[in-house]
Structures are given as structure tokens and as C-alpha cells.
Amino acid sequence: MILSDSNLLQSDYIDGKYHKTRLITNLVIERIREIKDKMVKARKYVVKRHFQGVPKRDDFEIVEYELPPLKDGNFTVKSEWISVDPYIRAYNPNIPTPYDQFSFQLGKVVESKNPDFPVGCKVVSHKGWCDYTVFDDLVEVEIGFASVYKLPDLHGLPEELAVGALGMPGVTAYFGLLEICQPKAGETVVVTGAAGAVGSIVGQIAKIKGCRVIGFAGSDDKVEWLEKELGFDKAINYKTADVRKALKEAAPNGVDCYFDNVGGELTAVIYSQMNKFGRVSLCGCISSYNDDPSKMTKTTTLLPSILFNQLKIEGFIVSRWASPENRWPEAISQLAQWIKSGNIKTRSHVTEGFDKIYDAFIGMLAGENKGKAVVKV
Amino acid sequence: MILSDSNLLQSDYIDGKYHKTRLITNLVIERIREIKDKMVKARKYVVKRHFQGVPKRDDFEIVEYELPPLKDGNFTVKSEWISVDPYIRAYNPNIPTPYDQFSFQLGKVVESKNPDFPVGCKVVSHKGWCDYTVFDDLVEVEIGFASVYKLPDLHGLPEELAVGALGMPGVTAYFGLLEICQPKAGETVVVTGAAGAVGSIVGQIAKIKGCRVIGFAGSDDKVEWLEKELGFDKAINYKTADVRKALKEAAPNGVDCYFDNVGGELTAVIYSQMNKFGRVSLCGCISSYNDDPSKMTKTTTLLPSILFNQLKIEGFIVSRWASPENRWPEAISQLAQWIKSGNIKTRSHVTEGFDKIYDAFIGMLAGENKGKAVVKV
């Protein structure tokens, strides 16, 4: 690019040979410095190897690199909010390493050669744990999420909700409950991982729909939050309660809908108390994510419960509502209305600092968060 | 009833006191004998206690009793074909003992005070393991099957099919596969218990629908029958094969539909090889029927497979297609056509004798039958 610079070439013929070479050298050095200054130093988390059990700090490497100069159609985004979610752990075994750690994030366009994404524009993407990114493709990425969309109108709500209740976790709760469980007023809905980003929204949507809502969570503090602030009819600390007995008391007429984030033995107990034609939306099974994939945990068989009560179980990934038809805007718009009207309360569990993403992730996996775990960078 | 007999009372006043008493005594004895002769001695199997593991002969008692005289609307049926099926074992833990052993059976009306069911009429009912029955109610019975229906037009096919391919097992295969799995031409369908009454029909329906069909069965003899006579693309002896490897070879493009009669570890292997958006019709889990209900077997968790491949699992009981809308005739009529045209082959595994029903039942549970296990009484 430098050698085709016409000003530089013109100067060749004005000055003598020695002078010309020196001039070229100086100019080249100057231009390289100029371009380097324009280049952004970026950082990203790279997963070096497949996790064994709980992911270790050392499984990740923070790689510093220079962003390439923008081509036409490209733009650079500076990350502002980065999400940590259970599926990040779940997908690890099936992706060849090393790979850049994906996740949802909200950022601002800081440089642009794309008129559709001008400087200052905010975008939600699946570019993951990085501080700057150049968007040089707008194609689908690994796990099926569209690679970028503009921050939707949040009606003045906090922007970090775009990766929480008004982003992937909210859309997951919305369609996963309403489309798969199809809860009816008066029915009993159970949700596990109830104090998490998805579960806390699921329970509140079920309340809006007129259901009796029972949540399972892992601490008394979460139980209190769910019952006192979010309006759950009953919350149960699965770590300390006799869950079979507690659920019988909380759901004397049985369970009609179950939104499962957790799996494991707790799920077997819940299935055993489901009513005829009950519906299960299987969103996650975080209790087994740290298992060795070649040696999965054995749990009490669910099949007799499914059979004799004629249950319907469906596993889902929220990308199914992004394509071929994109229904995310429908969910985000409805959720925003419910949040504005106070029918849904949100809570962000914020960790600050790009260097703390790993800690936020591990904390979330250990259940430290109430509401959405998110990192402000 | 005897004392109100007007002839008897009239005779009192013709003869003297002594004579009158003797006459009454003789007449009473004569009338009792007459009524007793008209009464039918009937036998039925009563389940005395809940089974522990494999049902024992001693868990049943053959009770002999006299059928009551018919009231208006009643009729008596003499059993001809009695069915033995896995669900007989499965329902045992949840029914208070003692109870009369239910099952489907085909019989002939031998006495009738019901113009809708005249003498000679053949009926299919859920009256179970008995040689004679009086039908004195036409209400729904315990497990939701209509208590009686007239033998449908079998188009000249063997009558015992009315409790097999043209009865409950056939209807189970028909709706369980077509409504729940919704197989499409070119898809791969797997069925376990493939040589059984239901599984053998499922596989053949899937072939009619243009699918690649793989069956799991428990002997080389059954495997040969499935491949050579019933046209399965591949059958696998799950007792001797490396099922994971064998299924990978038989279904190189993965499994789209799974009709599960068996459950257990075999089911976990099949789930792990299912394609995105695969459908599972859960019809039975015979591998766990002999388990202690308070201490169910632990098996490899199915949840990650259901989640990541977004599978849909549905347990069903065939009575759902009997009411509120009765769709059994639709299935029976279609199955009869397929059998007549040679697209579906049936096979009955016949045991003879009312006293042998227990043996037929235990043999069926142990997998001795190819095709439908049925008792000719």
C-alpha cells in the first residue's frame, strides 16, 4: 500500500538518488508508525484446552493482538457488557481447541466503514470475551446465533439488560416457557435454577400467566429473594430441604409444567410428581456440565414417570427462534413492557473489569449470582 | 324370590300343614338346583399381592365362582383369546390388591339380555384373564380402556389379531409412531423390542412410510426374522452386539425417530446418536418394570442428549386415542388393509389353555415370543 502512494513516487524525480532513498526510508517509517497508532491493541480470552471438571483459570489465555485495519463493510466494536452463562461451559467438549471464548456482549461502534453500523451505534453480538472486535463477517457463528444485531429499544431500561432479561436469557425464558410448556392459568409451574438469569424470568412470566409458581434455588438468601421480591408462591432450598416432601407440600395438586435448568436427581423428583399430560421444557442441565462426557452421571431413570403420566419433554436452544424466522424482537418487546410495568423485576450481578471475566464465570457456575451474572468492561 | 312364587303359595291352602311344609321343602330344593344348573361356573385370575421382581405363580390365584343370573342389559361372554402384554406387569405396583387380572381378550356372547350384544356376537374387552364374564357395566375401567367393543370387520383375517395387530398393540404402534414420531420418508427410525407385538408392527409401518428401519431384539433368531421376513433394514441383537458401534454402522446419518419399548442403557445409547429435532415415542420401559418402585434403577442421564439435539420425547398410553374421540377404528381399518395387502406381516405366539396364562405371561416378559403373545382358551 505504501509503495503505491503517488506523493511518495512523485518525490523520487525531484531529488537525487541518495536523497531519494533516505526520503523513502523516512517516509516508510513515518507511515508505519502512523498506521500502528491507528491500529487498536485488542485482547481476547482463548480457550486453550477442554475443561476437566470445573474450568481452571489456566484453561484460558488472554491473548493481546492488533486489530486489522478496516476494509469496506467492517467496523470496530468496543465491548461494554460481557455475559457469562452456563452454556459456555456446556459447549466446551464439542468445540476443537484452541478457540476464542464466545458469549453474548454489548458494545459500541468506535470505528466504521459500514454505513449500517455507524460510529456510536450500539450492538449486541456473540463475539464473546474480548475488549475490541472487528466485525468483518455477518454470518452465523458456531452455535447458531446471528453474529450481530443493533441494540433494541430498551425504553430507558439499563443497557446491560440487552445481554440479560432483554437478551438471550430473557428470550430463552419467554419462548422456552410459553411455547414449550404452554402454561395455563391455575396450573402449577416448577422451575429449577430459579434465581438465575433465565429461571428468575421464567417464574415471573408464569405468575403473569396466572400460574402457581414454585422455584428451586441453592441458598436461603435466594429463596427469600424469590418469595419476597419476585412473587414466587414458594421457593425451596434444594441443598437443605427434603425436596420430595417440600414439593408435595408446595404442589399438593401435582406439577403441570416444569422448566428445567439443572437436571440431576432433583429433576427425577420433580418428574415423579408431575400430572398427566405435564410438559417439560428442558433448557439446561447444569448439574452435569462438569461431568466427563465419556462417563456421564447415572441418575434415577425418568422414563416410567414420562410414560405413565404421558409427559412431553422437549430440549431446546434459543437460536431456534432466531432463524429461519426471527422472533426475538417479539419476546424482547413484550419483556420490556413487563419490566417497565413492574410485572417483571430484574437484577444484575455485576463483576467489573475485563480481567475478571473468568472469576465471574466460575462464580456463576457455582451459583453465586442472584439474577443475571454480567461483566462490565 | 322363591317365597314370592305364587304357585308355591297357592299350594299351601290345598294340602295340610305337615304336607305343606314337606312340599315347600321339596320345591325349594328343586328350584335352587334348577337355578344352580343355569348358573355358569366361571374362573378368573386374581392378583393376590404386589409383584416383587419377576411375578411368581403364587402371586396369582385362580378363583372359581358362580356368575350371577343376568339382569336386563347384561350378557355373558365366553373368552376365546386372552392377551398377555408388558403393561400388565407395569401397572401392578399402583393397583390395590387383590384385583382381577385385566388384559384385552376376545370372546363370544353365550347368553344375553342385551339386544345390542346378541348371542353369537364377538366382543373385544378389557375383562382380562377369565373364562366367562358377565358384562353388567359398560363404563370405563381402571386404566382408561373402554370396557367392551364389538369385534371389528377383520376382512377374513385370523380373529386373534383383534387382541394383536388389529387391537391394542397394533393401535399403539400405529398412533405411537405416526402421531408422536411423525416419521418422514428417508428418515431413520429405530425401534426397541422390535420383535414384540408392538415393535414388529412399528418397524413395518415405518418401512411403508419410506424410512430406513433399525430394530433391536434379544436373540439371533429374532434378528433373522426381522431382517429376512419383516423387511427391517437392519436388526441388532442387543444382548451380544456392541450396540454403540452397531448402531453407528447401521445409522451412519444418525437417528431421526425412536420408538422406545424398553428403556435402560440401550435407550441412552440410542438417544446419544439422535439427530437435531429428533422425536422419541416412549411406549414402554420393560427393562425397569421388575424394579422396586421405591428404588428405581439409575441409568446414564438422557438430558444432555435431549438438550443439545433439541429432542422431543413423549410418553403415551394408547387409551388417549380411544376417548374423548375414538380413533381406534381408523387405525384398525388401515392396519387390516396393510395386512391384507401383505405390507404388514403378523405372527402370533400362541399358548393353549386357560391354566397356562401365567406361563405365557412370564414367557412374554422374558422375551420368548416373536410377534404377539396370546393365549387360546
Residue in B313, B320, B323 to test binding to A, most A beta-carbons within 10 Å: B313
Chain-chain contact of A309 with B301 (C-beta, under 8 angstroms): no
Q: Say yes or no for a CB contact (<8 Å) between B282 and A298.
A: no
Question: Cβ contact (<8 Å) for B300 and A297?
Answer: yes
CA distance B280 to chain A (A): 10
Which pLDDT score, from 0 to 100, does residue B296 have? 82
Strand A234-237 to A312-315 pairing: unpaired
> Are A103 and A83 within 8 A, CB to CB?
yes
A350: which 3 cell numbers? 455485576
Closest residue to B307, CB basis, from A284, A307, A312: A284
Q: Is A351 exposed, middle or buried (0-12, 13-18, 19+ CB in 10 A)?
A: buried
Distances (CA, A) of A368 to A167, A221, A293: 21, 11, 25
H or E, element range at A220 = helix A220-224
As a whole number of Å, the CA-based R_g of chain A is 25
> What is the DSSP pairing of strand A41-47 with strand B41-47?
unpaired
Residue-wise pLDDT tens digits, A154-211:
989 999 999 999 999 999 999 999 999 999 999 999 999 999 999 999 999 999 999 9
Tell me which chain A residues have a C-beta less than 8 angstroms from the C-beta of B319. Answer: none
What pLDDT score was predicted for residue B270? 98
> For the structural domain made of B41-163+350-376, what CATH number should be given?
3.90.180.10
Pick the residue from chain B with its C-alpha nearest to A314: B312
Give B315 to chain A, closest Cα distance, Å: 4
Q: How far is A267 from chain B (nearest CA, A)?
A: 10
- Per residue in A92-135, pLDDT tens? 998 999 999 999 999 999 999 999 999 999 999 999 999 999 99
pLDDT for the residue numbered B22: 63
* Cα–Cα distance, A231 to A213 (Å, whole number): 9
Q: What is the pLDDT of residues A230-259, one digit of tens each?
A: 999 999 999 999 999 999 999 999 999 999
**All cell numbers assigned to B155:** 376382512
Cβ contacts of B16 within 8 Å, gap of 6 or more:
none
Q: How many CB atoms lie within 10 A of CB B216?
A: 32
| Residue type at A356 in one-letter notation | K
Q: Are B238 and B218 in contact (CB under 8 A)?
A: yes
Looking at chain A, the number of H-run helices and the number of E-run strands are: 11, 17
A324 vs B contacts (CB less than 8 Å): none
Rounded Cα distance, B235 and B358, in Å:
29
Set of chain B residues whose Cβ sits within 8 Å of the Cβ of A297 = 300-301
The Cα–Cα gap between A249 and A251 comes to: 6
Domain at A168-321, CATH homologous superfamily: NAD(P)-binding Rossmann-like Domain (3.40.50.720)
Spatial separation of the C-alpha atoms in residues A143 and A126, rounded to whole Å: 10
pLDDT digits (tens, 9 = 90+) for A350-370: 999 999 999 999 999 999 999
Is the distance from CB of A58 to CB of A336 less than 8 angstroms?
no
CB contact under 8 A, A312 and B317: no
Using DSSP's 3-state secondary structure scheme, residue A33 falls into helix
The whole-angstrom distance between B316's CA and the closest CA on chain A is 5
Contacts of B299 in chain A (CB under 8 A): 298-299, 301
CB pairs under 8 A between A and B: 112
Instruction: Report the distance separating Cα A359 and Cα A375, nearest Å.
Output: 10
CA distances, B227 to each of B61, B204, B207, B234 (Å): 40, 11, 12, 6
Instruction: Please indicate if any CB of chain B lies within 8 Å of the CB of A260.
Output: yes
**A303–B263: do the CB atoms touch at under 8 Å?**
yes
Q: How far apart are CA B47 and CA B62, in angstroms?
A: 9
- Vertex B324: Cα angle to B320 and B329 (nearest 5): 70
- Read off the pLDDT band of A20 (50, 70, 90): low
Cβ–Cβ gap B313/A312 under 8 Å? yes
Distance CA B228, CA B251 (A): 19
* Count of CB atoms situated within 10 Å of the CB of A258: 24
Q: What is d(CA B373, CA B377) in angstroms, rounded to the nearest whole number?
A: 13
Beta bridge partners of B67: none
> From residue B342, how far is each of B123, B328, B339 by CA, in Å?
26, 21, 5
Q: Do the beta carbons of residue B162 and residue B105 sit within 8 Å?
A: no
- Name residues whose C-beta falls within 8 Å of residue A364's C-beta, 6 or more positions apart in sequence: A84, A85, A86, A349, A373
pLDDT of residue B330: 94
Smallest CA–CA distance, residue A308 to chain B, in Å, is 7
Residues of B in contact with A260 (CB under 8 A): 303
**pLDDT < 70 positions in chain B:** 1-25, 28, 31-40, 137-147
Q: Identify all chain B residues contacting A264, using CB atoms and an 8 Å cutoff.
A: 301
Angstroms from A300 CA to nearest CA on chain B = 4
Going from N- to C-terminal start, the domains of chain B cover: 2-38, 41-163+350-376, 168-321
pLDDT in the model for residue A290:
86
Contact check, Cβ <8 Å, A299/B297: no
pLDDT band at A80 (very low <50, low <70, confident <90, very high): very high
Give the whole-angstrom CA distance, residue A116 versus residue A150.
10
How distant is the Cα of A306 from the closest Cα of chain B, in angstroms? 5
Residues 261-290 of A with CB under 8 A from B: 263-264, 267-268, 282-285, 288
C-alpha cell at B168: 391394542
The C-alpha cell at B156 is: 377374513
User: For position B246, what pLDDT does the model report?
Assistant: 98
Residue A7 is predicted with a pLDDT of: 38
In which residue are the cell numbers 334348577 written? B34
Which residues in chain B are contacts of A263 at CB distance < 8 A? 301, 303-304
ipTM of this complex prediction, to 2 decimal places: 0.88
pLDDT tens per residue, range A278-301: 999 999 999 988 888 778 889 999
- What's the fold here for domain A41-160+348-376? Quinone Oxidoreductase; Chain A, domain 1 (3.90.180)
- Residue B141 identity: V
Question: Contact B197/B164 with Cβ under 8 angstroms?
Answer: yes
Predicted confidence at residue A12, as pLDDT, reads 45
Q: Which residue, among A353, A294, A375, A338, has the nearest Cα to A83 in the 3D structure?
A: A375
From the list B167, B231, B208, the residue with the least C-alpha distance to B341 is B208
Q: What's the rounded Cα separation, in Å, for the pair A323 and B353? A: 61
